[in-house]
Amino acid sequence: MATSWTPDQPIVQCVDVRKSFGALEVLKGISLSVKKSEVICIIGPSGSGKSTLIRCINALQPITSGSIQIEGIEVSDPRLDKLALRRKVGMVFQQYNLFPHKTALQNVMMAPIHVLGQKRAEVEARARALLAKVRLAGKEDTYPGELSGGQQQRVAIARSLAMRPDIMLFDEVTAALDPETVKEVLVTIRELAEDGMTCLLVTHEMNFAREVADHVYFTDRGVIVEHGPPEALFTAAKDERTQRFLSQVL
Amino acid sequence: MHEIGDWFQRLYETTGLNFSVFYDAYDWDRYFGGLKMTLLLSVTTILLSLMIGAVGALLQGSPSMLLRLPVNAFVVVFRNTPPLVQIFFFYFGLGTMLPAVEAAGMRVPLLSNVQWAIISLSLFAAAFNVEIFRSGIEAVPRTTLEAAEALGYTRLKAYVHIVLPLAIRVCLPALNNNLVNLLKTTTLAYAIAVPETLYAVKQIWSESQNVFEMMVVLLATYGILVGVLVWLMHRWERAMRIPGYAR
């Protein structure tokens, strides 16, 4: 199990993942893998189970059957050490979900102090550097409610990075943003990817997927219809459903 | 101080309005003693009811039925019965069943009427506080909790650092109302002879035959006490306000 994983193996390994909400099966046997420093995009129509998959990977929702391993840790194991898993996995949400009663800087500092018990001075220095990295230097003492959507989302990215994860999950992180602010968030993610961060994104930003992703998965109604390098998928999709979806969104 | 006493003395002689507490030292001592007792009752019951309410709300949100059930039963019992009956139940019902203790050569009840009043009123207000805190906790978005979970927060840590600070802000206005009610409900302790303000004032007007004047003093006293409490609560509300957060 956790002991058998080596860094040359995929960080995320999903095998035949199934997930049902009551009688409704939203994931019908998903298999995919993410290697270190890879950027993977999952695209597809609404309701195809993309967000559910990414939430299952972070154990926010239990899977019905199959296997998800993060660096060899089986997520569906009932004895799962959730803290061990979440130290490896950072997650950014569509609605930012910042802690509204804390400033931007405090939002970034909270988890390393409360969860990992790290020293305040150390954490603060790192948090300031992270905020500068996501181009929010000068906004340290601002509350989330005073920031724009794009700024809040970048604080959320810094907040996840403060935990030094091995992989970042992005769940439609630009879907709630104004068109002008989408770009600033995408630039931030692209810089992360260029630094070698392993990223798994559920996204509707086709241009971003095309330019930044190493591998793109197209999902529809709970299955992976087609996957491959972005150029191949976007220019020469083989499946008729992929073609139809791409012709609608491009 | 003499001037005030003289002025009220003259007021009595010229108009017949007898505010004896302001010129008669004996009446003043009784009134002031009552005021101190009211403050003691108010402060202790407010603090106790807040603590019991917070713990109750935490237990109420627990996944364990065994923890939720007693809290729900407590809320139903104390919310569905009159506070005066509760005080009588504790003092005359439970109080007489407890063993007496030896103190200074006399056999006295284990708990005094003041202590029973504090216990009874605290529980009464706590039942409402549980529900008030719950409303605040439920107003914290699930997604905010999920973000905490994704960062590795345990249930308890998320409660302490994220849920409670947000919940308090949401439920402060309702809490405010309940604490004002609690302060006024301390007058019920009169019924078990706790010498609080109403009790003291009643004694004064029985002897000095100045019911109307003492009524005015009594109403003004509570009006001012509640005013101070409300002012403090509003200050707290303002201090907790978050820039840019849902108004």
Residue in A114, A147, A160 nearest the CB of B161: A114
The reply to whether B191 falls in a domain is yes
Distance (Å, whole) CA B103 – CA B38: 26
B contacts of A97 (beta carbons < 8 Å): 141, 143-144, 146-147
The reply to whether B247 falls in a domain is no
Distance (Å, whole) CA A102 – CA B244: 11
pLDDT-derived band at B1, boundaries 50, 70, 90: low
A27 in contact with chain B, both atoms CB, cutoff 8 A: no
Residue in A83, A100, A159 nearest the CB of B166: A100
A98 in contact with chain B, both atoms CB, cutoff 8 A: yes
Query: Are A93 and B244 inside 8 Å of each other by CB?
Result: no
A166 in contact with chain B, both atoms CB, cutoff 8 A: no
B contacts of A156 (beta carbons < 8 Å): 147
The reply to whether B24 falls in a domain is yes
Q: What is the mean pLDDT of residues B234-243?
A: 90
Q: What is the mean pLDDT of residues A222-232?
A: 93
* pLDDT above 80 for A3: no
The reply to whether B9 falls in a domain is yes
Q: For A221-245, what is the HEC assignment?
A: CCEEEEEECHHHHHHCCCCHHHHHH
Q: What domain range is B136 assigned to?
A: 2-215+229-240
- The pLDDT value recorded for residue A14 is 95
ipTM, interface predicted TM-score of the complex: 0.90
Residues B186-227 have pLDDT tens digits of 999 999 999 999 999 999 999 999 999 999 999 999 999 999
* pLDDT above 90 for A225: yes
The CATH code of the domain that includes B175 is: 1.10.3720.10
The reply to whether B223 falls in a domain is no
Which domains, from first to last, does chain A contain?
12-249 (3.40.50.300)
* pLDDT above 90 for A248: no
Q: What is the CA radius of gyration of chain B?
A: 23
* pLDDT above 80 for A1: no
B243 in contact with chain A, both atoms CB, cutoff 8 A: yes
Residue B244, by phi and psi: left (phi above 0), alpha (psi -120 to 50) or beta? left
Distance (Å, whole) CA A26 – CA B212: 75
Share of chain A above pLDDT 70, in %: 99
**Which residue out of B143, B145, B146, B151 would a mutagenesis test of the A interface target, given it has the greatest number of A Cβ atoms within 10 Å?**
B151
Q: How many domains is chain B partitioned into structurally?
A: 1
To the nearest whole angstrom, how far is the Cα of A15 from the nearest Cα of chain B? 22
Q: How far apart are the first and last CA of chain A?
A: 42
B:88-147 residues touching chain A, CB 8 A cutoff:
141, 143-144, 146-147
The reply to whether B245 falls in a domain is no
Helices B25-60 and B65-79 meet at what angle, rounded to 10? 150
- How far is residue B113 from each of residues A5, A238, B52, B199, measured CA to CA in Å? 68, 85, 21, 13
A112 in contact with chain B, both atoms CB, cutoff 8 A: no
The reply to whether B246 falls in a domain is no
Query: Are A101 and B152 inside 8 Å of each other by CB?
Result: no
Query: Are B146 and A97 inside 8 Å of each other by CB?
Result: yes
Residues B78-90 have pLDDT tens digits of 999 999 999 999 9
The DSSP bridge pattern shows strands A39-43 and A198-202 to be parallel
The whole-chain average pLDDT of chain A stands at 92
The reply to whether B221 falls in a domain is no
Residue in B143, B148, B169 nearest the CB of A95: B143
Report yes or no: A144 and A104 within 8 Å, Cβ to Cβ. yes
Query: Are B246 and A87 inside 8 Å of each other by CB?
Result: no
